[in-house]
Amino acid sequence: MSEYVLETKNLGIDFGGLTAVNNFNIRVEKGDIYGLIGPNGAGKTTVFNMLTKVYEPSRGTILVNGTDIGKMSTIEVNRIGIARTFQNIRLFSDLSVEDNVKIGLHNSGSYSLADSLFRTGKFHSEEKRLHERALELLGIFRLEGFAEHKAGSLPYGAQRRLEIARALATKPCLLLLDEPAAGMNPVETQELMDTIKQIRDRFDISILLIEHDMKLVMGVCEKITVLNFGQVLMNGTPEEVQNDPEVIKAYLGD
């Protein structure tokens, strides 16, 4: 067993002739809340897309708890423990809030197609369990009152929280959050920071997050990697990153 939940080695991807990310190395340890920051277009979301195999990396390796996920699909990557949210929220917006979480619970519901077609006892008991589990998860994100609402009708901040709840429902060991605070007001952001710490402790998971809100990043992350033009600019603690002249230059220009 590797000591790292996530380890990448020289990860890179080209689009056409353009190198979007190159030599990306990161090591996320168990229980880390890890920040991935960088100016717009630095390739942060592209890294997430490679980690979840939405994009096939052009080179390099990705190890999850020591297992090479090079040949896995998005689905298999989720099953070995990576769950994510999306920068441009991707909820099942016509379905209810509860159903969205239940879809996250899909693989933990252990009844077969025949059970659902013929409504066996197993179907009913499992559905009851899924329902309770979904409400429990919604409760963590203060969404239990909206269970019957359409996901698409929720306010923006609530949609972001629902997406995290859905990702958590798949029982990940590593949660990738893509700009979780985007579109949230300061109060919501503060609540989100508490929630992030809370779910790390409660579910015993590691979290890797992309965020532009520096207050959130500096407030919750214990380690940070800065990405610029597809290259790792530096790794370090929040203090180190904040005081690094290269990082300041990348954000503010010369």
Partner 1 sequence: MKKITEMLKKVFSKKYRQRTVSYLIVVLAYLIIETAIKTGSISNTIKSLLVPTCSYIVAALALNLLIGYLGDLCLGQAGFMAVGAFFGAVASVFFSRFISGDVPVLILAIIVGGIAAGLCGALIGIPVLKLQGDYLAIVTLAFCQIIKTLLLNLYVGIDSKGLHFSFITDNTNMDPDGILVIKGAIGANVTKKLSSFTAGILLILFALFIIHNLINSKHGRAIQACRDNKIAASSVGISVSRYKLLVFVISAVLTGMAGTLYGLGFSSFKASKFDFNLSILILVYVVLGGLGNMTGTIISTTLLLVIPEALRAFNDYRMIIYSIVLIAVMLISNNAMIMYYLKQFKDHLKKMFPKRRTE
Partner 2 sequence: MKFLSYLISGIRLGSIYAIIALGYTMVYGIAKMLNFAHGDVIMIGAYVAFFALYRAGFPLVAALLASVAVCTILGITIEKLAYKPLRSATSLAVLITAIGVSYFLQNAALLLWGSTSKIFPTILDYGFIELFGGELKISYQILITIATCIVIMVCLTLFVNKTRMGKAMRACSEDKDAARLMGINVNSVISLTFAIGSGLAAVASVLLCATYPTVTPTLGSMPGIKAFTAAVLGGIGSIPGAFLGGLLLGIIEVIAKVYISSELTDAIVFSVLVLVLLFKPTGLLGRKTSEKV
Q: 12 pairs with which residues across the strands?
A: 59
Q: Which stretch binds partner 2 (CB under 8 A): 48-56, 123-131, 136-144, 163-171?
A: 48-56
Q: How many residues bind partner 1 (CB under 8 A)?
A: 37
Q: Shortest gap between Cβ of 142 and partner 2 (angstroms)?
A: 28
Q: Which residue lies nearer to partner 2 by CB, 24 or 55? A: 55
> Minimal distance in Å, beta carbon 176 to partner 1?
9
Q: Which residues pair with 223 in a beta bridge?
A: 34
Q: Considering only residues 63, 103, 173, 182, which one is a binding residue for partner 1 as defined by CB under 8 A?
A: 103
CA dihedral (213, 215, 217, 222) in degrees, to 10, reads 180
Q: What is the DSSP letter of 11?
A: E
Q: Which of residues 82-111 bind partner 2 (CB under 8 A)?
A: 86, 88
Q: Is 106 in the site for partner 1 (CB under 8 A)?
A: yes
214: tokens are: 């520096």
Burial grade of 24 (CB within 10 A; 0-12, 13-18, 19 or more)? buried
**Which option in partner 1, partner 2, none does residue 187 bind, with CB closer than 5 to 8 A by kind?**
none
Q: Which is nearer to partner 2, 54 or 214 (CB)?
A: 54
The torsion of the CA quartet 19, 25, 26, 27, rounded to 10 degrees, works out to 150
* Residue 9 and residue 51 in contact, taking contact as beta carbons nearer than 8 Å: no
Identify what 109 binds: partner 2, partner 1, none; CB under 5 to 8 Å per kind: partner 1
Is residue 78 within the footprint of partner 2 (CB under 8 A)? Answer: no
SS3 6: strand
Nearer of residues 54 and 63 to partner 1, judged by Cβ: 54
The gap from C-alpha 140 to its chain's centroid, in whole angstroms, comes to 17
Chain contacts with partner 2 (rule: CB under 8 A): 45, 49, 54-55, 86, 88
